[in-house]
Structure 1
Amino acid sequence: MKNLLIASTSTVHGGEYLDYLLPTLENHFASCNTILFIPYARPSGISHDEYTEKVSVAFAKINKKVKGLHEYENPAEAIENAEGIFTGGGNTFVLVTQLYENKVMSVLAKAVENGTPYLGTSAGSNITGVSMQTTNDMPIVYPPSFETLGAIPFNLNPHYLDPDLQSKHMGETRETRIKEFHAYNSLPVLGLREGSWLDVKGSKIILKGELTARLFQQNKSPQELEPGAELGDWS
């Protein structure tokens, strides 16, 4: 049975890395001694080692060890044998490119499908959708495919921001960008605000946190979903 936590962000305003999620993660990874961390997204271009160390410090607070996927000679085997998996945020294009280049996208999808506890934040959450096409990131590298894990039957837009009516910014809003996606694609998109996450158990998907999430469907008005709402496949 699938067992995922899919978070919009790793860090809420004024907090430390993963701190707002730690009580939930302690339960989520209760059966795990060591978490396999996938550092491929490299936020701000940091090294895999630096990123893994940052994650290790956070997980030490709940007495979990962390080992980076880049440390293994055989990454596919490491994923297959993992007790629990965390894919961190950064650039989704970089993350997806590395997963394909290391031939582990399908291996990771299978591990998640088979119930290995999984945590994603930001880019690591983006890849749980059907495709990465609703990421906010710049295409700084070119992945072999936009197709991702498909662990949930829709796409995500983490870090979703509502329009600021006081702002003088004249560029496109997140809602505008998602409408552009729906000019060519019928797949629903969930705008996940900061501090919110999805709790996935098998086919059941529950919105967690204190904020609503914004659901976008092709040729329909956006809909606000309340915390605790069960998300369907909207087919």
Structure 2
Amino acid sequence: MKSIIIASTSTIHGSGYLEYLMDELKVHFKSADEILFIPYARPGGISHEDYTKTASKAFNFIGKSVRGIHEYENAEDAIQNAQGIFVGGGNTFVLVTQLYKNQVLLPIKNAIEKGTPYLGTSAGSNICGLTMNTTNDMPIVYPPSFKTLGLVPFNINPHYLDPIVGSKHMGETRETRIKEFHAYNSQPVIGLREGSWIEVKGNKLTLKGKLDARIFEYNKVPYELGTNCDLGFLK
């Protein structure tokens, strides 16, 4: 059975790395002693080693060890033998490029579908959707494809921001960008606000966290969906 946490972010304001999710992660990774961390997204361009240390420090609080995929000679074997998988945030273009380059996108999908628990934050959440096309990141590298894991039947926009009333900013809002996406694509998009996540248990998809999500469906007016609501209708 699929067991997935698709989180908007790794860190919320005033909280440590993954701290707001720790109670969930204790349960989510209860059968795993070691987590396989995939640091390919490299936030701020940091090294794989430094990024893995950040993840390791966080998981130490719940008694889990962490090992980076870059430490293995064979990345596919590492995924097949993983007790749990965590893909961190950063730049989605960099992440997807590396997943294709190292030929691990399909092995990750297969492992998850066989029941390996998965955690994605930010870029690691973006790749759970049908494509990465609703990322907020700059296209600093060119991936072979925008197609991603397709673990859920929609796209995700992590870190979703609402328009600020009275703001003098003249650029596009997130809602405008997603409407642009729907001028060329028809799959739904979930605007996932900071501190919210999607829980996947088998075929059941549920919005979790304290905040509502903004739902964008093709040729429909965007609307709000409350926490603890079922997302299985979005196809």
On whether the aligned pair clears a TM of 0.5, the verdict is yes
Structure 1 residue 166: deviation in Å?
2.2
Alignment map for 1:18-167 (pairs within 5 Å): 18-167=18-167
**1:223 Cα shift?**
1.4
Structure 2, gaps ≥5 residues long: none
Q: Secondary structure at the match of 1:172?
A: coil
1:2 corresponds in structure 2 to 2
Per-residue deviation at 1:36?
Answer: 0.1
The structure-2 alpha-carbon separation of the partners of 1:164 and 1:185, relative to structure 1 and needing over 3 Å to count, comes to: same
Is the CA contact (8 Å cut-off) linking 1:196 and 1:208 kept in structure 2?
Answer: yes
Deviations 1:3-44 (A, max 9, x none): 000100000001110000011101100000000000000000
CA deviation map 1:121-165 (0-9, x unaligned): 000000000000000000000000000000001000000000001
Q: Following the alignment from structure 2 to structure 1, what is the Cα–Cα distance between the partners of residues 165 and 219?
A: 24
Letter in 2 for 1:18: L
Provide the C-alpha distance between the structure 2 equivalents of 1:64 and 1:3, rounded to a whole number of angstroms: 18
Task: Please report how far the alpha carbon of residue 234 of structure 1 lies from its aligned counterpart in structure 2 after TM superposition.
Answer: 2.8
Counterpart Cα distance in 1 of 2:218 and 2:151: 21
CA distance, structure 1, for counterparts of residue 150 and residue 127 of structure 2: 8
Q: CA deviation at 1:233?
A: 4.3
In the alignment, the residues of structure 2 paired with residue 130 and residue 80 of structure 1 have an alpha-carbon distance, to the nearest angstrom, of 22
Q: Does the 8 A contact of 1:153 with 1:233 survive in 2? A: no
2:204 and 2:83 map into 1 onto residues whose CA distance is 22
Partner SS state of residue 219, structure 1 = coil
> Alpha-carbon deviation of 1:232?
1.9
Deviations 1:57-87 (CA, angstroms, capped at 9, x unpaired): 0000000000000000100010011000000
Number of equivalenced pairs: 235
1:196 corresponding residue in structure 2: 196
Name the aligned partner's letter for residue 12 of structure 1: I
Q: 1:137 to 1:98 in 2, by over 3 A?
A: same
Q: What is the letter of the counterpart of residue 169 of structure 2? A: H
- RMSD of equivalent CA atoms: 0.6
For residues 65 and 233 of structure 1, the distance between their equivalents in structure 2, rounded to whole angstroms, comes to 37
Q: Quick one: distance in 2 between partners of 1:169 and 1:109?
A: 40
CA distance in 1, matches of 2:35, 2:233: 30
Matched AA of 1:14: G
> What is the aligned partner in structure 2 of residue 212 from structure 1?
212
Task: Measure, in 2, the Cα distance between the counterparts of 1:201 and 1:177.
Answer: 30
Where 2:76 maps in the other structure, the secondary structure is helix
TM-score norm. by structure 1 comes to 0.99
